[in-house]
Amino acid sequence: MAGLRERKKDQTRRRISQVALRLFDERGYDQVTVNEIAEAAGVAKVTVFSYFPTKECLVTDGVQDDMAAIVTGRPEGCSPIGALRAHYRATAAPVTTDMDVETLITRIRVISSSPALLAAVYGAQMSRRHELAAALAGGREPDLTAHLMAAQITAAITTLQEAFFQRLAVGAPLEEAAGRLAGDVELAFDLLEHGLTHTEEEQHEKGHQL
């Protein structure tokens, strides 16, 4: 019975989210009320808020990974960068099998067209960055080094996501976009782990080999 209840909750959550995205995309985020979403989804307003604490969460919920949790939960002997690389390498690999591209593109379109949602995403990014800095500090008060590391990692991941979304938005097949994302992940973490000078040296060596 517990499994059935969980499946029903997941179905309700997905239905509310899908209805909200459709209405936001059709009419604009600011023009749609939570009451209208609840009515269209066939649930009570209180049910919407039980799954999504704020209206913004109807669009932004689950958009970003918890990088701090990835760092703090890494296996013994694994570096923070190593744990993050492994996570994003793994998420890039199965992206072709279970991703709803149309829903993803709609979500990005809705966010991009709303200043309120863009501000919410930016605020969430700032919060995640500070949480990541704390995780990198290992329980100590994060210093400037931890904050700089967190800023670089966060910017790299955001750039990877933007490049992936852009390829899908211009019509690239999912398999192609996913394949390029896998390569981009390795490039991003090579830069984070070894720095720009190391990458420039590699490119220089490749040029001589040609």
CA–CA distance, 31 with 114 (Å, rounded to integer): 11
Would you list the domain boundaries of the chain?
2-58, 62-209
8 Å CB contact between 129 and 151: yes
Residue 137 φ/ψ, nearest 5 degrees: -75, -10
**Which sign, positive or negative, has the C-alpha torsion 149, 151, 156, 161?**
positive
2-58 — its CATH code?
1.10.10.60
Low-confidence ranges of the chain (pLDDT < 70): 1-2, 62, 94-99, 197-210
For position 124, what pLDDT does the model report? Answer: 87
For position 210, what pLDDT does the model report? Answer: 46
Q: Position 177: which residue type?
A: A
For position 113, what pLDDT does the model report? Answer: 92
Global pTM?
A: 0.79
CA–CA distance, 28 with 30 (Å, rounded to integer): 6
